[in-house]
Structure 1
Amino acid sequence: MLRFENTADADVDVDAEHALPGRGEPVLSMPFLHRITANRLDREFPGAETAYLAAGCFWGVEKLYWNLPGVLSTAVGYMGGYTPNPTYEEVCTGQTGHAETVRVVFDPTRTSYAQLVRLFFENHDPTQLNRQGADVGTQYRSALFATSPAQEATARRLYESFQASMTEAGYGRLVTQIAPAGDWYYAEGYHQQYLEANPDGYCPVHATGIRCSAV
């Protein structure tokens, strides 16, 4: 298991002892087909890598990635908490500890983890603690859940570079949590590729307009 310090406090209001109990069965039954690619969400791609990114409402964040060259699959779900197989309603109480997270499976010969993290930083405001715009709560926190020491090192490098750019632009401290990827739980089916099924759905991206130059 990876063990390293978080870049910033997630400020989650619950611990493992007091989190909701959850359940033994996933809330999303497989097979479930991706609305864009028609592949199973849990399909394995030989040679692929996986990134887990949390940047507020996962509907809009997932859309940022599903048409990106080199991305093979996307899904939305929950990570960073304690409750097994939580429901959306439970996550929204703040009593599971999870963040709304996007799972991005990508071909490292066509894109890089650094490119995915650059897009992450440029498309939300990582100085907002436990919120993005009007969406407030620990489930909307900014977080990068790394699957390897190499991902963790890349996340920290881009974090430091983006902090310098944000400071120069007059913004405050980045509060993005950098932590090891833990248990991943798929969100309910109606959340998957939500903005494809609901093109008029509301889920804005809270970009600051500041570029992340270190890739």
Structure 2
Amino acid sequence: MSFGRGRGVRMPTPDEAPPGRSASAYEVPEKHAVLGTALLGPYPEGCEVADFALGCFWGAERRFWQLPGGVRTTLVGFQGGFTPYPVDDEVRTGLTGHAETVRVVFDPARVSYRALLALFWESHDPTQGFRQGNDVGTHVRSIVFTHSPAQHAAAEETRALYQRALSAAGRGGGSGGAITTDILPAAEHPFYPAREYHQQYLHKNPAGYCGLGGTGVSFPVGAMKSPG
């Protein structure tokens, strides 16, 4: 399951964050348990990386590895916080500031970044702030971490499109229906892979917890400016 309610709904300050460590406290598996591909690389030439935080990363990761087409690999980790190389217990306190994040390695010739964004928007409620369903805390907030100006532009474009779709449908469970998703440069927010236990968790535990739930509003794919 996700890490519970954490410490509440306030982002910590850097001074409140645990000091962390200079290297990971654990090893990450070499291979994806479902796709059989390398988790940490090297990745095939031409592949790109996308990072999405949308609540409990167990269920979020499954959404992306099940996407037909060009997803090469997926892995879960922590991103957007202050503590270097955080561990589970630290993230659970809310003091590290990290969000549960899914890293998606994909072939843009087979699946577009905008298709990944469409799945991101539809797979959770981006209006809930520091909450997804029963999971509450800074670690389940909604974020797109972008790896290029093109990704950043696409994230902003699709956020605006989905906001219009939500407003038209009168949906969205929090913030008066206003999307609270941040769009942040991945270069400024290192991704720290989670330990083996969390990687492809719902493949290993098919009946395991998944707290994700969308708004029921489909992303307006036909309204996107370009197929990239």
TM-score, normalized by length of structure 2?
Answer: 0.86
Q: What residue is the counterpart of 1:35 in the other structure? A: 33
> 1:18: Cα distance to partner?
2.4
- SS of residue matched to 1:17: helix
Aligned pairs for 1:161-180 (under 5 A) are 161-171=161-171, 172-180=177-185
Q: 1:202 aligns with which of 200, 206, 209?
A: 209
Q: What residue is the counterpart of 1:58 in the other structure? A: 57
Between Structure 1 and Structure 2, the one with more helix by share is 2
Structure-2 change in CA distance of 1:204 and 1:13 (3 Å): closer
Q: 2:218 aligns with which of 204, 211, 215?
A: 211
Paired amino acid for 2:116? L
Q: What residue is the counterpart of 2:195 in the other structure? A: 188
Q: What residue is the counterpart of 2:103 in the other structure? A: 103
The answer to whether residue 53 in structure 2 is matched with residue 46 in structure 1 is no
Paired amino acid for 1:33? K
Aligned pairs for 1:49-128 (under 5 A) are 49-68=48-67, 69-128=69-128
- SS of residue matched to 1:117: helix
Paired amino acid for 2:37? N
Tell me how far apart the structure 2 counterparts of residues 204 and 19 of structure 1 sit (CA, whole Å): 26
Tell me how far apart the structure 1 counterparts of residues 199 and 91 of structure 2 sit (CA, whole Å): 16
Tell me how far apart the structure 1 counterparts of residues 92 and 37 of structure 2 sit (CA, whole Å): 29
Return 131-140 or 205-214, whichever deviates more.
Answer: 205-214
> 1:30: Cα distance to partner?
4.5
Tell me how far apart the structure 2 counterparts of residues 77 and 15 of structure 1 sit (CA, whole Å): 21
Q: What residue is the counterpart of 2:6 in the other structure? A: none
Tell me how far apart the structure 1 counterparts of residues 37 and 73 of structure 2 sit (CA, whole Å): 8
- SS of residue matched to 2:150: helix
> 1:12: Cα distance to partner?
4.8
Tell me how far apart the structure 1 counterparts of residues 18 and 169 of structure 2 sit (CA, whole Å): 40
Gaps of 5+ in 1: 1-10
Q: Percent identity?
A: 48
Q: What residue is the counterpart of 1:6 in the other structure? A: none
Return 25-34 or 60-69, whichever deviates more.
Answer: 25-34
Tell me how far apart the structure 2 counterparts of residues 30 and 191 of structure 1 sit (CA, whole Å): 10
User: How many residues are matched?
Assistant: 205
- SS of residue matched to 2:63: helix
Gaps of 5+ in 2: 1-8, 172-176
Tell me how far apart the structure 2 counterparts of residues 139 and 30 of structure 1 sit (CA, whole Å): 21
Paired amino acid for 1:118? A
Structure-2 change in CA distance of 1:91 and 1:30 (3 Å): closer
CA offset digits 1:129-174 (Å, max 9, x no partner): 1110000000000110001111010000000010011111113100
Tell me how far apart the structure 1 counterparts of residues 122 and 194 of structure 2 sit (CA, whole Å): 25
> Do the aligned partners of 2:132 and 2:211 also contact (CA within 8 Å) in 1?
no
Structure-2 change in CA distance of 1:112 and 1:28 (3 Å): farther
> 1:26: Cα distance to partner?
1.1
Q: What residue is the counterpart of 1:14 in the other structure? A: 12
> Do the aligned partners of 1:28 and 1:186 also contact (CA within 8 Å) in 2?
no
Paired amino acid for 2:184? A
